[in-house]
């Protein structure tokens, strides 16, 4: 991807350490969160308050991180408007849709669907940021999507989906679009002019306020489980799954573009499926193996494109 602020800048290669290292760390952590989220939802748990608790823990930690790193927390009017937009789309729409999608679809199906994030990321990046899309990237994306489709077919055959499947798919797509829009707008001119951690701190604060308001309207006063497993999961999702990963991931988006950065979702799928294999007894097949191979092959082809 060519730097929008400096068109003459040398494109950043994906296989450089500055990209590959955070890309891998984000995939490892986010790959674990799909399993952890299952402990944050249930018939006796107010989903909206679980999301609010996650980001209520993450928000002060992100502000503290900004202070420790010496990053400015001043955003200006345009910056605060952007933070509100990110807070709403990423930390409210995305997560409320995703958590609720897992009531109707297995976590594996939802995780697999997020492998399609590259499509809206690329389209939004083209429409809003003017980023070019190469034929190699399109080819890689088509191959990867075919692989994801095979994995979805395999998962659907194994999973017992007792909920409203159409609603689950709709919610998952809504979450994908929310996350994608946030990915792209933070990589625009205003977002690039602001310190990443400071922008995220304010975005988390605004998102938490929106989440709490939504939770109160939908579920009434706060109520949470008291068991340690629930709160340890919430802490992992807040600190590792949000404070550590979002600054790294959003920086990757700025460096290599939202299209190629979205391939992190496929790496996350690999990690999530490995966890599912060893912890949840995920059953592999020739169909799943072929899907995984196609997805990784497509990712490799697309990531080798010079621009996306």
Question: Could you tell me if residue 11 is inside a domain?
Answer: no
17-37 vs 264-279: helix axis angle to the nearest 10? 40
CA distance 269 to 54: 22
**In terms of Cα–Cα distance, which of 195, 252, 202, 284 is closest to 27?**
252
Give the percent of the chain with pLDDT over 90: 44
Q: What is the CA radius of gyration of the chain?
A: 19
Question: Could you tell me if residue 9 is inside a domain?
Answer: no
Neighbours of 230 (CB within 10 A): 17
pLDDT tens digits, one per residue of 228-247? 999 999 999 999 999 999 99
Question: Could you tell me if residue 12 is inside a domain?
Answer: no
279-301 burial: b if 16+ Cβ within 10 Å, else e = eeebeeeeebeebbebbbebbeb
Residue 260 pLDDT grade (very low, low, confident, very high; cuts 50, 70, 90): confident
Higher pLDDT, 181 or 270: 181
Question: Could you tell me if residue 308 is inside a domain?
Answer: no
The pair of structure tokens assigned to 50 is 């679980």
- In which domain, by residue range, is 61 found? 17-303
Question: Could you tell me if residue 71 is inside a domain?
Answer: yes
CA distance 61 to 174: 28
Question: Could you tell me if residue 5 is inside a domain?
Answer: no
Residue 93 pLDDT grade (very low, low, confident, very high; cuts 50, 70, 90): very high
**In terms of Cα–Cα distance, which of 277, 252, 285 is closest to 20?**
252
Higher pLDDT, 11 or 140: 140
What secondary structure letter does DSSP report for 192? H
pLDDT tens digits, one per residue of 153-208? 887 777 655 557 778 889 999 999 999 999 889 888 999 899 999 999 999 999 99
Structural domain total, the chain: 1
Average pLDDT over residues 29-38: 89
What secondary structure letter does DSSP report for 15? T
Say whether pLDDT at 92 is over 90: yes
Question: Could you tell me if residue 240 is inside a domain?
Answer: yes
């Amino acid at each position: 991807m060519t730097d929008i602020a400096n068109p003459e800048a040398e494109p950043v290669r994906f296989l450089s350490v500055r990209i590959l290292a955070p890309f891998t760390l984000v995939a490892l952590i986010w790959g674990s969160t799909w399993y952890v989220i299952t402990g944050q939802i249930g018939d006796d748990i107010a989903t909206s308050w679980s999301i609010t608790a996650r980001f209520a823990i993450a928000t002060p930690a992100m502000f503290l991180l900004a202070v420790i790193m010496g990053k400015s927390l001043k955003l200006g009017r345009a910056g605060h408007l952007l933070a509100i937009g990110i807070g709403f789309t990423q930390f409210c729409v995305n997560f409320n849709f995703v958590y609720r999608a897992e009531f109707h679809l297995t976590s594996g199906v939802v995780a697999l669907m997020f492998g399609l994030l590259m499509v809206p990321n690329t389209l939004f990046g083209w429409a809003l940021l003017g980023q070019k899309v190469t034929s190699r990237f399109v080819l890689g994306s088509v191959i990867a999507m075919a692989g994801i489709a095979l994995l979805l077919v395999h998962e659907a055959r194994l999973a017992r989906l007792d909920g409203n499947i159409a609603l689950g798919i709709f919610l998952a797509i809504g979450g994908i679009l929310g996350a994608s829009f946030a990915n792209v707008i933070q990589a625009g001119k205003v977002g690039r002019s602001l310190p990443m951690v400071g922008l995220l701190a304010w975005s988390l604060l605004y998102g938490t306020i929106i989440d709490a308001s939504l939770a109160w309207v939908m579920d009434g006063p706060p109520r949470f489980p008291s068991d340690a497993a629930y709160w340890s999961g919430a802490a992992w999702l807040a600190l590792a799954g949000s404070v550590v990963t979002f600054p790294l991931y959003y920086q990757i988006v700025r460096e290599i573009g939202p299209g190629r950065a979205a391939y992190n979702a496929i790496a996350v799928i690999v990690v999530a499926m490995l966890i599912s294999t060893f912890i949840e007894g995920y059953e592999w097949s020739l169909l799943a193996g072929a899907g995984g191979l196609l997805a990784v092959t497509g990712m490799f082809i697309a990531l080798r494109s010079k621009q996306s």
